[in-house]
């Protein structure tokens, strides 16, 4: 089949590659929904799959009772994993979807695809700044997926966004606040932002600590390695965060050998086994 399971075995009930591709265009919405998840999960990046997923982003049927667009959400998430930039224009259009979760998935995927054509569309979602970043009436989320947008702008190295992002470091919702902090570290390389993530690793909120560990790893803030090793959380998550740190170009500039700082990370990892 030529497919490698990325984080586990393919279950016995899983589709064959041929079935998954056929189901992407099935009449049955639930089959399309599952197939869209499946091709992302197993990283099936090939032109006919990308094309079918892009088509799915424009599919208007199959709404949830609340007006959500589940197929579009899955298609947008999958496209982020498949590393094909031909999906970028369609994902940019999805940033204006009426469905919050489609906008969120599109922002995340655009951050993963690292194509700077997405910057204006992402910035548009920050319009009105912190004052406009309030809870959507009757919803369990804010009016826009601010954390996903901020994270994407950081990943995209959107230097022009720094002044727009900075006020969000004072947003009342921690995950928005720290998404802004993370982005500013990526955009400026200024240790004050890395240190702010590290300080929060000593905070009382376990869920937040779990998320921030991954952030420190993903942005390659090597000085945060000890804080990850010491924070009160599961060793499994610490090891994943430190893996991200050890594999970051900051620790292994040539992608093959470690700097001394990189070796320090391996020592910490050994201590967590």
Partner 1 sequence: MSIAPSPELSSDLSPDLSQLIRAVDEADSVAKMVGAVRSLAAAQDPAAIPTLMAVLGYNNPGAAVAAVEGLVALGETAVEPILAQVDGYNYTARAWALRALAQIADPRALELLLAAAETDFAPSVRRAAAQGLGALRWARMAAEQVPMARDRVLAVLTVNATDLEWVVRYAAIAGLEGLAQSQPTLGNRVLGLLRDRATADTDLVVRLRAQWAIEQLAAKG
Binding site for partner 1 (CB under 8 A): 8-9, 204, 206, 232-236, 239-240, 243, 246-247, 252, 255-258, 262-263, 266, 269-270, 273
Closest to partner 1 by CB, 142 vs 219, is: 219
Residue with tokens 């088509």: 55
By C-beta, is 31 or 239 nearer to partner 1?
239
Minimum distance between the CB of residue 124 and partner 1, rounded to whole angstroms?
Answer: 36
SS3 (DSSP) at 39: helix
Least spacing, CB of residue 153 vs partner 1, in Å: 26
CA distance 130 to 82: 33
Phi-psi region of 199 (alpha: psi -120 to 50; beta: other; left: phi over 0): alpha
Query: Toward partner 1, which CB reaches closer, 175 or 248?
Result: 248
Lookup: tokens for 92 = 């940019």
The least CB distance from residue 197 to partner 1, in Å, is 19
**Quick one: CA dihedral 175, 162, 79, 249, positive or negative?**
negative
Integer angstrom CA distances of residue 150 from 75, 125, 145, 264: 21, 10, 9, 30
Closer CB to partner 1, residue 14 or residue 252? 252
- Give the Cα separation of 246 and 242 in Å (integer): 6
CB of 187 to partner 1, least distance (A): 25
């Amino acid at each position: 089949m030529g497919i490698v399971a990325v984080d586990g075995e393919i279950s016995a009930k899983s589709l064959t590659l041929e079935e998954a591709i056929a189901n992407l265009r099935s009449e049955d919405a639930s089959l399309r929904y599952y197939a869209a998840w499946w091709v992302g999960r197993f990283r099936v990046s090939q032109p006919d799959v990308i094309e079918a997923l892009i088509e799915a982003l424009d599919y208007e049927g199959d709404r949830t009772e609340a007006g959500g667009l589940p197929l579009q959400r899955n298609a947008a998430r999958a496209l982020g994993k498949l590393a094909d930039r031909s999906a970028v224009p369609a994902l940019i259009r999805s940033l204006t979807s009426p469905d919050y979760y489609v906008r969120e998935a599109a922002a995340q995927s655009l951050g993963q695809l690292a194509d700077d054509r997405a910057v204006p569309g992402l910035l548009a979602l920050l319009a009105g700044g912190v004052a406009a970043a309030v809870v959507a009436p009757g919803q369990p989320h804010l009016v826009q997926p601010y954390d996903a947008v901020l994270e994407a702008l950081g990943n995209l190295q959107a230097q022009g966004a720094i002044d727009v992002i900075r006020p969000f470091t004072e947003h009342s919702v921690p995950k928005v606040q720290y998404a802004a902090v993370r982005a500013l570290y990526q955009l400026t390389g200024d240790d004050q932002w890395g240190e702010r993530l590290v300080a929060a690793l000593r905070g009382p909120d376990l869920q937040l600590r779990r998320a921030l560990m991954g952030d420190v790893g993903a942005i390659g803030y090597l000085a945060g390695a000890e804080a990850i090793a010491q924070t009160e959380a599961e060793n499994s998550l610490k090891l994943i965060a430190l893996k991200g740190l050890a594999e970051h170009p900051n620790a292994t500039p040539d992608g093959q050998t470690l700097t001394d700082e990189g070796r320090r990370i391996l020592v910490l990892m050994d201590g967590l086994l």
